[in-house]
């Protein structure tokens, strides 16, 4: 299944920045980063359960937000890009603290 995962993690506090790094690590382990906080994942349902379990253990549900979209079949036809396309490099982005 093709999944789109987006996140907002509070980065005001050191704890928040740690959570951000941990969330990004989980997403990087399982998917393709396409924007700073947007990942595309091609995973089976069991793996998605594992990912969600890991993220549940990391985030602060009162401060952070994760959204998971099941893109369904024919997902390639559902995606359109403008500007940079999938060439996101966190090393060059100041938003990655």
Q: Are strands 38-42 and 2-8 parallel, antiparallel or unpaired?
A: antiparallel
How many Cβ atoms from other residues are within 10 Å of residue 71's Cβ?
16
Q: Out of 26, 27, 41, 66, point to the residue binding its own copies (CB under 8 A).
A: 66
How are beta strands 2-8 and 65-70 bridged, if at all? antiparallel
Kindly state the smallest distance separating residue 29's Cβ from its own copies, in Å: 17
Length of the chain: 97
**44 annotated among ligand-binding-site residues:** no
Angle subtended at Cα 91 by Cα 90 and Cα 92, rounded to the nearest 5 degrees: 90
Q: Which of residues 18-37 bind its own copies (CB under 8 A)?
A: 34-37
Q: Is 12 in the site for its own copies (CB under 8 A)?
A: yes
Binds its own copies (CB under 8 A): choice among 28, 29, 49, 85? 85
CB of 93 to its own copies, least distance (A): 8
């Amino acid at each position: 299944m093709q999944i789109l995962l987006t996140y907002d993690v509070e980065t005001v506090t050191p704890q928040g920045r740690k959570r951000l790094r941990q969330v990004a690590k989980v997403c990087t382990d399982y998917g393709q980063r396409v924007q700073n906080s947007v990942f595309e994942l091609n995973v089976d349902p069991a793996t998605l359960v594992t990912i969600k379990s890991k993220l549940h253990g990391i985030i602060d549900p009162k401060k952070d937000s994760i959204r998971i979209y099941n893109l369904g079949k024919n997902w390639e036809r559902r995606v359109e890009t403008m500007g940079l396309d999938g060439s996101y490099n966190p090393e060059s982005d100041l938003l990655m603290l």
